[in-house]
Structure 1
Amino acid sequence: MLKQIEGSQAVAQAVAACRPEVICAYPISPQTHIVEALSAMSKKGELGSCEYVNVESEFSAMSASIGASAAGARSYTATASQGLLFMVEAVYNASGLGLPIVMTVANRAIGSPINIWNDQTDSMSQRDSGWLQLYATDNQEAADLHVQAFKIAEELSLPVMVCMDGFILTHAMEQVDIPEAADVDAFLPPYEPRQVLDPAAPISIGAMVGPEAFTEVRYLAHHKQLQALDVIPRVSAEFAEIFGRTSGGLMHHYRTEDAETIIVCLGSVTGTLRDVVDERREQGERIGVLSIVSFRPFPAAAVRAALENATRFIVLEKAFSVGIGGIVSSHCRAAMRGKRFTGATTVSASAPTTL
Structure 2
Amino acid sequence: MSMETVPKGPISWPGTDKVIVMEGSHAASYAAKLARVQVISAYPITPQTGVVEKLSEMCASGELPARFIKVESEHSAMAACVGAQAAGARTFTATSSQGLALMHEMLHWAAGGRLPVVLLNVNRSMGPPWTIYCDQNDSLSQRDTGWLQIYCESNQEVLDSVLHAFRVGEQTLMPCMVNLDAFFLSHTTEPVAVPSQALVDEYLPPYDPPYKLDPSEPHTFGGLARPDTYMELRYKMHLAQEEAKGLFKKADEEYGKLFGRTYGGLVDTYRMDGAEVALVTAGTAASTSRIVVDDYRARGIKLGLIRIRVFRPFPAEDLLDLIRPLKK
Bin of the TM-score, shorter chain as denominator length = over 0.9
The TM-score normalised by the length of structure 1 is 0.86
Residue 283 of structure 2 corresponds to which residue in structure 1? 267
- Where 1:118 maps in the other structure, the secondary structure is coil
Q: Which runs of 5+ in 1 are unaligned?
A: 313-355
Count of paired positions: 311
Alignment match, 2:225: 209
Q: Which 10-residue stretch deviates more, 216-225 or 32-41? A: 216-225
Aligned to 2:8: none
Gaps (5+ residues) in structure 2?
A: 1-17
> Is it true that 1:110 corresponds to 2:122 in the alignment?
no
Identity rate, percent: 44
C-alpha contact (below 8 Å) 1:141/1:248 kept by paired residues: no
Q: Cα offset for 1:113?
A: 0.8
- Take 1:248 and 1:108, find their aligned partners in 2: how far apart are those partners? 25
Name 1:27's counterpart in structure 2.
Answer: 44
- Of 234, 251, 269, 2:267 maps to 251
Aligned to 2:113: 97
State the SS of the aligned residue for 1:91: helix
Letter in 2 for 1:66: V
The residue number in structure 2 matching 1:220 is 236
Q: Which amino acid aligns with 1:43?
A: A
Aligned AA for 1:210?
A: R
In the alignment, the residues of structure 1 paired with residue 234 and residue 312 of structure 2 have an alpha-carbon distance, to the nearest angstrom, of 15
Residue 210 of structure 1 and its aligned partner are, at CA, apart by 1.4
Give per-residue Cα distances to partners, 1:57-96, cap 9 Å, x unaligned.
Answer: 0000000000000000000001100000001000011000
- CA apart distance, 1:120: 0.3
Aligned residue among 60, 80, 85 for 1:64: 80
For residues 36-55 of structure 1, what are the structure 2 equivalents within 5 Å?
36-48=53-65, 50-55=66-71
In the aligned structure 2, how far is the partner of 1:248 from the partner of 1:67? 34
- Checking the alignment, whether the CA contact within 8 Å between 1:108 and 1:122 is kept in structure 2 is yes
Give the alignment's TM-score, normalised by structure 2: 0.93
Alpha-carbon separation, structure 2, partners of 1:24 and 1:247: 29
1:158-307 residue pairs with structure 2 within 5 A?
A: 158-247=174-263, 249-307=265-323
Displacement of 1:216 in angstroms is: 1.2
Cα drift, residue 117 of structure 1: 0.3
Higher RCO (C-alpha under 8 Å, 6+ residues apart):
2
> Is 298-307 or 211-220 further displaced after alignment?
211-220
- For 1:248 and 1:256, locate their aligned partners in 2 and report how far apart those are by CA, in whole Å: 13
Looking at structure 2, the residues matched to 81 and 183 of structure 1 have their Cα atoms a distance apart, in angstroms, of 34
2: CA distance, partners of 1:10 / 1:219? 35
1:40 Cα deviation after fit: 0.4
State the secondary structure of the residue aligned to 1:178. Answer: strand
Structure 2 CA distance for aligned equivalents of residues 38 and 73 of structure 1 = 17
Q: Deviations over 1:214-269 (max 9, x none)?
A: 11111111111011111100011111111111136101010112111100011011
In the TM superposition, 1:336-355 aligns within 5 A as none
Partner of 2:170: 154
Aligned residue in 1 for 2:6: none
Alignment root-mean-square deviation, CA: 0.8
Equivalent residue for 1:124, pick from 123, 140, 148: 140
2:98 aligned residue: 82
Which deviates more, 84-93 or 242-251?
242-251
- Deviation string 1:150-205 (CA, Å, 9 cap, x unpaired) is 01111110000001111111001111112232221111101101101010111111
SS of the counterpart of 1:163?
strand
Note the C-alpha offset of 1:137: 1.1
> Residue 273 of structure 1 aligns to a residue in which SS?
helix
Contact in 2 for aligned 1:106/1:163 (Cα 8 Å): yes
- CA contact 1:144–1:247 (8 Å) conserved in 2: no
Q: Equivalents in 2 of 1:306, 1:214: separation in Å? A: 36
SS at 1:263 equivalent: strand
Equivalent in the alignment of 2:327 = 311
The AA in structure 1 aligned to 2:288 is T
Q: Secondary structure at the match of 1:158?
A: coil
